[in-house]
Every structure is written in structure tokens, then in C-alpha cells.
Structure 1
């Protein structure tokens, strides 16, 4: 925006151009006047007393103008002039906004141009340092601007309000004419533009209302629904249509919801739990807070859980009969995580753990049969076998394992042939077992284990040999003779 000084310079330039035009016009008028005088000289003269009252008034006015002294110029400080410049700039902006606002209405545009002319005069007076006159003009300009703004707003809002009232009373033709008045004054009035759109589709909306009425008479809910949807699409401001559509949608939603619950109950009765679950899922998407839905869902969950429990219990029982206790352990542990109070699963888990742990201990004895030659170990093995017999009736595999270990224990306790050879001069005995005597060759029987065989002879150093009799050993032999003299 140019400064006030620039605006004053522009105003002075305009004034000079106006003076030039005035001088040119003066000479034109002078020429016409001379021609008129020449013409009048040929006409009869009129006395001064016969002059028209208008002429007398003009003369008096000229006399008064000559007698009126120039107004006294009031002194303004620098700060006051700065404030006046700001006031001029602000007034110019308000006037410019007003001119722009009313530009599409000719009557108001004319009035705005008059205010604009007063503003230009105020700038001229400022340039002439008539600051008091500027202040007076600005007061008038601001008051006139506010008044014209208010008048302009009233000019387009009043017919709009009447048009809206007529439209709400279904008087579409009157609404059209009144709203057109509003738009003629202010084509950018958004509310009037919206109302015009509603007016344009009024007849189509009324036809849709009639379709809704017919649908209600026919008890055709879908027909009513489509009619109200069309109304809202044409005129989104029809609150009654929105409310009616919402009511219909709720009716349809409730009807579908109740239908899904009925289907779910039927599916539960037929033990088709998968279908019932889907029906309830669809119903929940419509009304998840329904107590009836919650009740049926709990019932279904209980039945599904019971069915799942029965299924797992049957599987566990089946694998137990098949003597697959490793699988029984896995299934029972999994089932108890969901159904911890199931006695069948609890018992199956207990049996599986007992059988599997017993089988593991028996296997350890079987894998190292040589340990069974030790009386302590053999006693422990026998205790395990005795305890395992209580579980053998539940597991044929465990029974077979028990019998296999018993055979190993019996086999380990069976003496093995051991052949002893000597020089027939050495006296031989098996320490802890008994005497063999002086022999050349002799076969004795020893149970699996570790033995020490001693040979002695007068005049010779005694000798001791150690022999290991294992359960799997065959053709064992040992040579012992005293050959070192002392």
C-alpha cells in the first residue's frame, strides 16, 4: 500500500490534470458566451428588476462567497499528523474493502464511489494542510462506511431469510424469487447459494418423499430406505429425512441382529459350533454390547470347550491303549493347560510320567549288565523290577522291558566256565571262593565278576592273577604257575 505522502502526490497530479481540463473547458465556455452575447445584442433587453429569482440567488451567493473568509488553519504537531496519516490509511483500506464487497451491486457501488470521492477529498485537504477538515471528513467517511456495510448486509440477508422461510413452508416459487434478490445483491453469499441448490432440486425431493410415503403404505421398508437416501443425496440439509433413514436403518439392523442370534441358537442345537461362532461374530459387529449376545456366546464357549476337552481326553485314552505313553504325556500336558480340572487328563499324565520314568531306569540297568554283579546294584535293580510290575498292566512294552531285565539279572547270576591251567606243582585257590588244588588243567564255574586267583609252591615266590568274568564272556581261561625260586 502506498504511503500517505505518495497518495497525496498522486492526488496533486490528478488535481493538476483537472485544472488543465477546467482551463480548456473555460475557453470553450468563453467562446460560447461571446457567441451568446452577440446573439443577445439582437434581442430586446430586460431590466434588472425583471431578472429571475434564481439569478438573484446566484448573485447573493457570489456576494456571500466573496464575503466568507477562509477558515483558519489549525496547527497540528508532527505526532498528530502521523496519527492522521495512519487514520487516512486505515480509512482507505476500509473503503477499498467496501468497494470490493459491493462491486457486484450497482446501487451500492454508486454509494461506495461517493464515499471514495470523500476519501480523495480528505487526501487533498491533507495535502493542503487542512488537517481539521481532514479529521471531520474522516469521521464522516468512517460512519458512512459502517452504515453502508450494514445496509448492504441487510439488503441481501433480509430477502434470504424470507426465502428460507418460504422454502420451509414448501412455497418454492416465492423462495426462488426472494433468494434471487439476495444473490443479485451478493452473488457470493454462501447461504443463499446453498438455498438455491435446494430450490433447484425441490421437485425431485418432493417426488422422493412421495415414494417414501408409498413405501410406508406398502410396508416396504427397503423402498422407504431408498427414497430417503435419494432425498439426502439431493438435499443433505433435510434433517427429517436423515432421522427417518436412521430409524429405518436401526429397524433393519435390529432385525438382522435378531436373525443372526436365532441362527446361532439353531446351529448350537445341531452342534454345528463353527457356524454358530460365525453367526455370533456377525451379530457382534452390529451390536457388541447386547446382553443376549453375551449369554449365547458364553453358552457356545462352554460347549466348544467341553467338546475340545472330550476330544483331547479321547485322544489321550486312545494313545494310552496303544501303549504310546510319550504321546500321552504330550497330549495330557497340552490339555491340562486349557482344562486343568480334567481328572482323565490328570490321571493320564500321572500314569505316563510313572511309566516313562520307570522304563528309563530299567533301561539304564539293561545297558550296563556288568553292574548287576554287584550285590547292591542287583538289589536296586530287583527293587525297580518289583515296583515296575504295578505299572506293567498298563503298558505291555514296560512288561516286556521288565522281563528282559529279569533275564539279564538271571543271566548275570549264572556261573560261567573258567579253565585253569598250571604245572601240576602249584597249589591254586580262588580267593574268596575256594581251593582248586594242584592241577594240570581244570574247569571251574564262576559267576560274572572280578576274581583273584593265587598260586603258591614251596621254594617259589607266590603269584596272583586277576580275571574278569563278564556276563557275555565265553571260553575264559587262565594259566598260573610259580616259576620264580626264592
Structure 2
């Protein structure tokens, strides 16, 4: 189409140039005629000057006539130029010429007569001929456009009635009338895609017979994509989609209810999400969500109880206490869980108490601290079966207490004149050698003698000591 259009534009340009050249020629002829007339008038004037000496200049009437004639000439020239710009391109189109040759010839001949009249200075005739040519050209254009519209409408109707072959014939006729009609491309695309349209239309009809709504939606979507301007297809698609939504909504609602009844909470959650996606009834959706939340809480409580019991079996008392606090918020009347939580606290408290002595076992050398440790062991002993860690702590502390309660034989040496005593234990008096049992611990031994400096010695007795000896005597005079 583009090369033909370019060639057509060049031809029109050349024809316009020719027409303008013709107009220039005719204008030159007209000017020459006017000059001849003026020359004749001048000759006549000088010839008659001798007879009529009183006429020294042309009459005012003759001057007005020339001026008026010049105005008519300019008006006629402008009318011709306007015609050539507005109507010549239309009449120059070959499809216009072949559409109505007789009318085209009449319009062209009227224009040619206008040019001849201009050349002959018949300026009023120019207007008459141009009006006639314009009337014929506009009538021709009107009939030409009506013909194109008629072929388009018939092609459109044929496509609507599923007759692509007939539509193709009308498109060919439309192209023959006006190959630049912008509607041709759209019609041809619809015709070219009609095989696909027929396929999806058959699919849609089959889906209707089968009452297969999803299949109807798929087919209509394809048809709307191929024929986006058909409102009736869009309406069918909207109706099918709504029907499909309702069907899917009913199925999702039924699935959600069944899943809740069977306590399949994950499946119920998925079904409820699908209902929300399908824009189900808000009240129904809220009720289903509430039922799901309730069952989730119940399940969470049951799961927490199961985990709590498992933790108690594994003697994980810290976790037992944490889970019991969560569980008892939902089920405060569960005596079993309450008892397990209390036991867990007792076990942890007992273990913490024993750790006070286990972290610094040397403190057990103090009899009062050993007594406190014995009391802690007595309180922890009943809980020993419930915690392996506590049982191990009990055994270790007992071993420490046993070590701290087993005496170690100590040998003290002196000079037989020094008074010896062990602070907190007993006075030993004067001796040269004495053996006595002492419990593991730290002791202070003092020696006194009249006239001599008093001495003190530090003695540390360990539980793993086999034999310990110490010499204490006052040897320095005062």
C-alpha cells in the first residue's frame, strides 16, 4: 500500500503543477487580452480626440468597468486554486474514477469548462462551472463513502453470522472501492482468526452441552481474546465466571465444614483461604474462622499436654514448668498437670540447694554446715527417683559428707614442757608425742610455756591425708 500511495501522491503533485501552469497560462492570456483591449481603447481615444477635443481623459465609467473586471479575475483565480487543493486530489484517485466514471467525467468536464471560461475572461462563468463541478465531486464522494460503509457493514454482519467466506468477498469489494480504509485491517484479522474462533466456539458449545463450567470459561476467554469488541461474548464470559465462582465456593465451603468436623485443621485452613479468595459470604467466613481458631486452641492445648507429659517422663523439669504454665492458662483444673508442675519446682529447688554445697565442698569441714547439708539431703532424698541429675547431686554430696566425717590420724610432737591445745577441739597439755584423730578441716594449734613466747601453728587436714605430723614447742624466751 505504501509504494502505491507514494506514487499516487507524486502523480497528484505533478497534476497540480500542470493545473497551476495552465492557470498561469490562462492568466497570461487574460492579461494579454486586457492589454489588447486597453490598446484598442487608447487608439480609439486618440482617433476621436480631434473630433471631441473636450474629452481630455477616459471616462469614469470605463475605469470602473476595468477595476470590476480585475476583481472578478482575482476571485475566479482564487476559486480555481481552492478547487484544485480540495477536490483535485479526490478526482485524481483511480478508485474514484473507476467507481463512477460518468459522474467523475461530469465533474472533470465542469472543471475544464471553468478553466476555459477563465482563459476567455468569462469570470462569472468560472464560478458557475466550478460550483457544478464541486456539486458533482461531493455527490460522487458521498456515494463512494456510502458504498464503502455498505461493504463494511455487510462484512461485519457476515462475520457476526459466522460466514467468513462471505465476509472475505465483502472485504475484497471494500478494498476495491477504497484500499486506504482503516477498517480493512481489523476485518481481515478477524477473518484470518476465524478458524480459531470456530474451534473455540465448538468447544464452548460442547461445554454447554456437558455443563462443564470451567471449560466454558476457558473457551469464552479465548473467544473474547480473539474478538475483543463483541460485548455479547464478554457478557457470556462474565456469567460463566460467576457460575464457576459459585460452584467453587460451594465446594470450598463443603470441604471446610468436613475438615473441621474431622479436625483436619490444615485442610480446613486451606479451604477457608479459598473461600476468602472467592469472596464468599463474610458472615459465613467469620463463623468458619472462629470454629477453626477454637479447634486450633484445643489442639494446641492437647499438644502442650502431650509435650508436658513427655518432658516429665524425660525428667526435663524446666520444660515441664514452662509448658505447664501455658497449659494451665487454658485448662486450669487439670490436677495431673498441676501436680507435675509442683514436682518440677521441688526438684529444681532441691537441686539448687545441693549445688550450694557442691560448688564449695571444703565448707563441709564446718560441723554446722555439714548439718545443714545433711538436712538438704534429707529433703531431697524423696525426689531422687524423679531426677537423675538430682540423684547424682545427692550421691556426690553424700560422698563429700562421708569424707568430711572420717577422722585422719594426726601426730603432734612437743618438748614435754609446753602446754598444747587445739582451738575448738581440746587441751592436750604437755607431751613429747601424741597421736589423735581429727576430721578433715583447718585447725589452729597453740603452745604456751611460762617465760617463753607463745607459738601458734596452722594445721590443714585433708580427707585424703594418710599421716600428718606437726611439732609445736615454745623455745624462745621472753
| Same structural fold, with TM-score higher than 0.5 when normalized by the shorter chain | yes
Task: State the alpha-carbon separation in 2 of the partners of residues 72 and 367 from structure 1.
Answer: 136
2:66 to 69, 77, 81: 69
Deviation at residue 421 of structure 1 after TM alignment = 1.7
* CA positional deviation for 1:365: 0.9
Shift in Å, 1:467: 1.0
CA deviation string 1:29-88 (max 9, x = no partner): xxxxxxxxxxxxxxxxxxxxxxxxxxxxxxxxxxxx9x96255889xxxxxxxxxxxxx9
Q: Partners in 2 of 1:443 and 1:97 — Cα distance?
A: 149
- 8 Å contact from structure 2 (residues 147, 177) kept in 1: no
Q: Does 1:467 align with 2:459?
A: yes
CA distance in 2, matches of 1:348, 1:154: 102
> Which runs of 5 or more residues in structure 1 are unaligned?
1-9, 24-64, 75-87, 122-132
Distance change in 2, residues 1:103/1:412 (3 Å): farther
Secondary structure of the corresponding residue to residue 454 of structure 1: strand
Task: Give yes or no for contact 1:155–1:182 (8 Å, CA) kept in 2.
Answer: no
- Equivalent residues in 2 for 1:97-246 (5 A)? 99=89, 105-107=95-97, 156=145, 160=149, 164=153, 167=156, 183-191=175-183, 193-195=185-187, 198=190, 216=208, 219=211, 221=213, 228=220, 231-232=223-224, 234-246=226-238
Q: Is the 1:160–1:178 contact (alpha carbons within 8 Å) kept by the matching residues of 2?
A: no
Asked if 1:434 is matched to 2:426, the reply is yes
Q: 1:328 to 1:202 in 2, by over 3 A?
A: closer
Query: Contact 1:157–1:182 at 8 Å: present in 2 too?
Result: no
CA shift, 1:233, in A, is 5.2
Which residue in 2 is equivalent to 1:44? none
| 8 Å Cα contact 2:441/2:460 also seen in 1 | yes
CA distance in 2 between partners of 1:426 and 1:97 (Å):
154
> C-alpha root-mean-square deviation of aligned residues, in Å?
5.6
CA separation of 1:295 and 1:183: change in aligned 2, threshold 3 A: farther
The residue aligned with 1:316 is 308
Q: TM-score, normalised by structure 1?
A: 0.59
**TM-score, structure 2 length as denominator?**
0.59
The answer (yes or no) to whether the contact 2:91–2:137 under 8 Å persists in 1 is no
**Contact 2:151–2:174 under 8 Å retained in 1:** no
Q: Secondary structure at the match of 2:470?
A: strand
CA deviations over 1:350-391 (Å, ceiling 9, x no partner)? 754653354244223123221133466556646655664685
Contact kept in structure 2, 1:359 and 1:401, CA below 8 Å:
yes
- Within a 5 Å distance, the mapping from 1:320-399 to structure 2 comes to 320-326=312-318, 328=320, 332=323, 336=326, 341=330, 343=332, 352=344, 355-356=347-348, 358-374=350-366, 377-378=369-370, 381=373, 384-385=376-377, 388=380, 394-395=386-387, 397-399=389-391
Matched, 1:453 2:445: yes
- In structure 2, the partner of 1:261 is 253
* Contact 1:104/1:185, CA 8 A, preserved across alignment: no
1:247 partnered with 2:239 = yes
Secondary structure of the residue that 1:69 maps to in structure 2?
helix
How far off is 1:456 after superposition? 2.7
Mapping of 1:409-424 within 5 angstroms? Answer: 409=401, 411-413=403-405, 415-424=407-416
**Distance (Å, rounded) in 1 between the aligned partners of 2:320 and 2:89:** 94
The secondary structure found in structure 2 opposite 1:461 is coil
In 1, the alpha carbon distance for the partners of 2:172 and 2:212 equals: 39
Cα 1:318–1:174 shift into 2, 3 Å: closer
Residues 278, 471 of structure 1: CA spacing in aligned structure 2 closer, same or farther, 3 A cutoff? same
Cα distance in structure 2, aligned partners of 1:319 and 1:202: 72
- Say if 1:370 and 1:470, in contact at 8 Å, map to a contact too: no
The structure-2 alpha-carbon separation of the partners of 1:368 and 1:197, relative to structure 1 and needing over 3 Å to count, comes to closer
Aligned mates of 2:470, 2:138 — CA distance in 1:
137
Task: State how far apart, in whole Å, the 2-side matches of 1:97 and 1:434 are.
Answer: 146
Cα drift, residue 399 of structure 1: 4.7
Partner in structure 1 of residue 292 of structure 2? 300
1:100-147 per-position Cα deviation (integer Å, ceiling 9, x unaligned)? 999574359989x98xx99xx9xxxxxxxxxxx9xxx9xx99xx89x9
Residue 412 of structure 2 contacts residue 434 of structure 2 at CA under 8 Å; is this kept in 1?
Answer: yes
Residues 1:325 and 1:195: Cα distance change in structure 2 (over 3 Å): same
SS in structure 1 of the partner of residue 397 of structure 2: helix
Structure 1 stretch 397-406 or stretch 431-440: which is displaced more?
Answer: 397-406
Judge conservation of contact 1:465–1:480 (CA < 8 Å) in 2.
yes
In structure 2, distance between residues paired with 1:15 and 1:304:
97
Q: Matched residues in 1 for 2:395 and 2:441: separation?
A: 23
Q: Residue deviations 1:275-296, cap 9 Å, x none?
A: 4444445555444665545533
2:356 and 2:143 mapped to 1: Cα distance?
Answer: 108
- Secondary structure of the 1:244 match is helix
- Structure 1 CA distance for aligned equivalents of residues 385 and 86 of structure 2: 110
**Whole-angstrom distance in 1 between the partners of 2:370 and 2:293:** 55
- Preserved contact between residue 102 and residue 152 of structure 1 (Cα < 8 Å): no
What is the alpha-carbon distance in structure 2 between the residues aligned to residue 393 and residue 153 of structure 1?
A: 111
Distance 1:104 1:443 in 2: 147
Secondary structure class of the residue paired with 2:417: coil
